[in-house]
Structure 1
């Protein structure tokens, strides 16, 4: 055993220095670990609302956009198309959209905030296929007397141009109307309803 005096100041310095270096190492390892808990940019974008410019959509035209990895259709309906919607209601499963699957504003004949523009998730409510848009009389080959609509060739589901399902179709419910609102006359925000927090 040595009788050399103990240098307490040196011991204290080494203890503090070791503690500081260890703390920096723990913080350095924790930052990337904690950062990995945040959603990726791709995940944020997948759930984000999207803005759509509708100013260039021609009457009768359908455009497709992607929202939350789903196809969303926007159709600019003509006055003739709107008039046809009242004529086929006796052939529909849910003409008043009473099934609880869409925003409250969609519980009407037109299923839209503005009658002229229809906004739908373009996925069949039967097995998730994507129906075709048939216009200019093409749909009459599928449903007699109805010139325009959506037809799912996979299993034969038929929908009018409000996305309402026809009786006899395998699809149990109308096509889904996503939440959306108008930012201005030419821009729709899909993903939120106006005033929703």
Structure 2
């Protein structure tokens, strides 16, 4: 017989096993939640790192062009610089093309007959006296729109929509019997004489541009600087 002090409640083995199972489940659930939280936190950290890196790259990408825009390249400076052209090989009645500021510039060596023809068709021109002063320097506001009677310097861009006209320097030909020489724009049919003056009825509203220029010598032309300016 057991004494009263040693007496105890009987233990149910099935209940004990069930309690142990519940404890294990609780531990597994806690571990799972802990792992889940850890994984979420890590994903957040990865996301923040990635977005920060992208943001830094974006700022750098924006900053580089901005800095470049503040410091023009040597090529950009050169594009706006005056251009020296050797004109010694332009035969009378022909022309050559130079480039200034990315634009074609024609240098035409007009014959005496060509220069004489310039005075014969004023009535057919929209602005024979070159009254639109923005189209040529003051020293080229004359019949030939030039410094020298035989040499014309003209920007080869149509004043209608910016096409480049073709040189039709000789009389007649595919331009017809009344053609005395000049330039024809194939885009919309504008016609200009050998001084770059536009004919009436052309889509182009004004004469071709004569750029600032000067002669450094008999055979050396400088485009981009006026005659009174220093090179």
User: Shared fold (TM-score greater than 0.5)?
Assistant: yes
The unaligned stretches of length 5 or more in structure 2 are 1-65
- Pairing of 1:61-140 with structure 2 (within 5 A): 61-101=94-134, 102-138=136-172
| Aligned mates of 2:228, 2:119 — CA distance in 1 | 31
Distance 1:196 1:145, change over 3 A: same
Q: Determine helix, strand or coil for the equivalent of 1:80.
A: helix
For residues 104-128 of structure 1, what are the alpha-carbon distances to aligned partners after superposition, in whole Å with 9 as ceiling and x for unaligned?
0121110000011000000000000
Distance 1:87 1:115, change over 3 A: same
**1:190 aligned partner:** 223
Q: Tell me which of 43, 55, 65 is aligned to 2:88.
A: 55
| Aligned mates of 1:44, 1:85 — CA distance in 2 | 37
Runs of 4+ in 1 over 4 A off after TM superposition: 33-36
Q: Determine helix, strand or coil for the equivalent of 2:70.
A: coil
- Matched-pair contact (CA < 8 Å) for 1:84–1:146: no
| 1:34 Cα deviation from its structure 2 partner | 7.3
> More helix per residue: 1 or 2?
2
The unaligned stretches of length 5 or more in structure 1 are 1-32
For residues 16-63 of structure 1, what are the alpha-carbon distances to aligned partners after superposition, in whole Å with 9 as ceiling and x for unaligned?
xxxxxxxxxxxxxxxxx9787331011011101000111111001110
**2:203 aligned partner:** 170
- Matched-pair contact (CA < 8 Å) for 2:171–2:177: no
| Aligned mates of 1:95, 1:182 — CA distance in 2 | 25
| Aligned mates of 1:142, 1:57 — CA distance in 2 | 24
For the aligned residue pairs, the C-alpha RMSD in angstroms reads: 1.8
- Larger Rg computed on CA atoms: 2
The reply on whether 1:150 has 2:183 as its aligned counterpart is yes
Structure with more relative contact order (C-alpha pairs < 8 Å, separation 6 or more): 1
Question: TM-score, normalising length from structure 1?
Answer: 0.78
For residues 129-165 of structure 1, what are the alpha-carbon distances to aligned partners after superposition, in whole Å with 9 as ceiling and x for unaligned?
0000012324x64365233110001101000000000
| Aligned mates of 1:144, 1:45 — CA distance in 2 | 44
